[in-house]
Amino acid sequence: MTKKLGIQTICTHVGEIKDEQFKGAVSPIYMATSYQFDDVDVKRYPRYFNTPNQESVAKKIAALEHAEVGMIFGSGMAAISTTLLAFLKTGDHIIVQNTLYGGTSNFIREEFPKYGIEFTFTNGYEVADFEKEIKENTKVIYIETPSNPLLTITDLKGIAKLAKDNNILSIIDNTFASPVNQNPIDFGIDIVLHSATKYLGGHSDILAGAVACSEVHMKAIWNVAKNLGGSLSDFTVWMLERSIKTLVLRVKAQNRNAKKMAKYLSAHADIKQVFYPGLKNHPQYALAKSQMKGFGGMLSFELQEGIGALAFQKALQLIKPSMSLAGVESTMLSPALTSHALLSQEERDSIGVTDGLIRFSVGIENKEDLIADIEQAIAKVKGKITKVTV
């Protein structure tokens, strides 16, 4: 096959294992943890990330991210921690975007001091905010765009150039956008990471991670990966393959729904503010449009003063007030009580994660039903307020 396949064909077919024995329509699952040593060129072993199923889905990830190679991990954090430890050693320095996924932030703050790796969280997300933190020993710049939970946009081309000019490696967590909406390698970013638990999995039922990059960088990552051992069971790898077949259909439906919800919430008297890169009044709408093919299924919003964020979420009947994101079902949560709970009130205020902020992971339900649920929840909370004050 040629490499110019369309993205939906990549999702459906790239990497698939032909069932030569029974001619089944889908890839068989190879669960073996032991392979005959004289029968294969590569010594296959699940912790070497090279079983037939692991290699098959790795090819899909590489194709989706326009990378030379890919690798599948046991979780997003396994992919993130392994990759960072592959390129950082004692005495090195990393510049990390503020704000970041909570788990990544904790990993850096808790583990790097043990290894003597220096880190700086930027004060903002402009290229200049990264540039001014560069030191002689800076080895990696790490970004997330759109960011969690305020959907700020970081300039991919600008960061890639800054990194290249200074001989620094650029790494992105591309989870929020998914490969359907954003391909950072096209803009010069070196390494792309995913929590495949989110859009790639898409059904809130598998934990997985992924990396896509050049062969040279992957060699360094693999060397550390086999030592740390964060690989994924072949059964779950197979479930990931199955999930990715519908990735484009799901993400496009979520893009459409999120845009409609962002518009609806923006016009709502009980909503103070909406953060969504696909809204023309988002401060970085033009930048988002220049580097994203779709604006994604994530948004956040603030309720007006007096409408409690927690009471509102408890009143929801269809939308689930739950952790995690990117499934086909809509979910909401308060970052201040969950992902950012470990930060102090001042730290949260400084990055705009207010107590009233709600993150909305928009699913594929009918928009009328989502709107009806939000309306009834607001009405219920406001009804309670009236009763108390009367």
Considering the candidates 60, 92, 101, 234, report the single residue annotated as catalytic: 101
Nearest Cα residue to 163 out of 184, 185, 139, 183:
139
Considering the candidates 44, 60, 125, 173, report the single residue annotated as catalytic: 173
- Helical H runs in 88-126? 102-115
Q: Which residues within the stretch 239-258 sit at the binding site for ligand PLP (CB under 6 A)?
A: none
Q: Which CB sits closer to ligand PLP, 275 or 378?
A: 275
Under the criterion CB under 6 A, does residue 195 sit at the interface with ligand PLP?
Answer: yes
Under the criterion CB under 6 A, does residue 175 sit at the interface with ligand PLP?
Answer: yes
Peptide bond into 146 cis (omega under 30): yes
> Per the structure block, which two tokens stand in for 124?
């903002």
Q: Which CB sits closer to ligand PLP, 30 or 121?
A: 121
CB 331 within 8 A of CB 363: yes
List the one residue from 65, 173, 241, 302 that touches ligand PLP (CB under 6 A): 173
Under the criterion CB under 6 A, does residue 108 sit at the interface with ligand PLP?
Answer: no
List the one residue from 28, 30, 52, 103 that touches ligand PLP (CB under 6 A): 103
CB 125 within 8 A of CB 287: no
Residue 108 DSSP SS3: helix
**DSSP labels for 304-334?**
PTTS-HHHHHHH-SSSEE-S---SSS-EEE-
Q: Which CB sits closer to ligand PLP, 44 or 178?
A: 178
Spatial separation of the C-alpha atoms in residues 262 and 151, rounded to whole Å:
12
Under the criterion CB under 6 A, does residue 77 sit at the interface with ligand PLP?
Answer: yes
The residue count of the chain comes to 390
Under the criterion CB under 6 A, does residue 203 sit at the interface with ligand PLP?
Answer: no
> Per the structure block, which two tokens stand in for 24?
């089944």
Shortest Å, Cβ 174 to ligand PLP? 8
CB 336 within 8 A of CB 355: yes
228: left (phi over 0), alpha (psi -120 to 50) or beta: alpha
Shortest Å, Cβ 315 to ligand PLP? 26
Under the criterion CB under 6 A, does residue 147 sit at the interface with ligand PLP?
Answer: no
Under the criterion CB under 6 A, does residue 76 sit at the interface with ligand PLP?
Answer: yes
The question of whether 101 is a catalytic residue gets the answer yes
Under the criterion CB under 6 A, does residue 297 sit at the interface with ligand PLP?
Answer: no
CB neighbour class for 346 (10 Å; exposed up to 12, middle 13-18, buried from 19) = exposed
Under the criterion CB under 6 A, does residue 321 sit at the interface with ligand PLP?
Answer: no
CB 331 within 8 A of CB 254: no
Nearest Cα residue to 61 out of 206, 183, 176:
183
Under the criterion CB under 6 A, does residue 75 sit at the interface with ligand PLP?
Answer: yes
Under the criterion CB under 6 A, does residue 353 sit at the interface with ligand PLP?
Answer: no
Q: Which CB sits closer to ligand PLP, 27 or 361?
A: 361
Considering the candidates 35, 45, 47, 382, report the single residue annotated as catalytic: 47
Q: How many residues sit in the footprint of ligand PLP (CB under 6 A)?
A: 16
Beta 93-96 vs 209-213: how paired, if at all? Answer: unpaired
Spatial separation of the C-alpha atoms in residues 4 and 14, rounded to whole Å:
11
The question of whether 198 is a catalytic residue gets the answer yes
Under the criterion CB under 6 A, does residue 154 sit at the interface with ligand PLP?
Answer: no
Under the criterion CB under 6 A, does residue 198 sit at the interface with ligand PLP?
Answer: yes
Under the criterion CB under 6 A, does residue 374 sit at the interface with ligand PLP?
Answer: no
User: 198 vs 150, 201, 302, CA distance in Å?
Assistant: 17, 6, 24
Under the criterion CB under 6 A, does residue 149 sit at the interface with ligand PLP?
Answer: no
Task: Give the residue numbers annotated as catalytic, written as ranges.
Answer: 47, 101, 173, 198
* Contact footprint for ligand PLP (CB under 6 A): 75-77, 101, 103-104, 144, 148, 173, 175-176, 195, 197-198, 207, 209
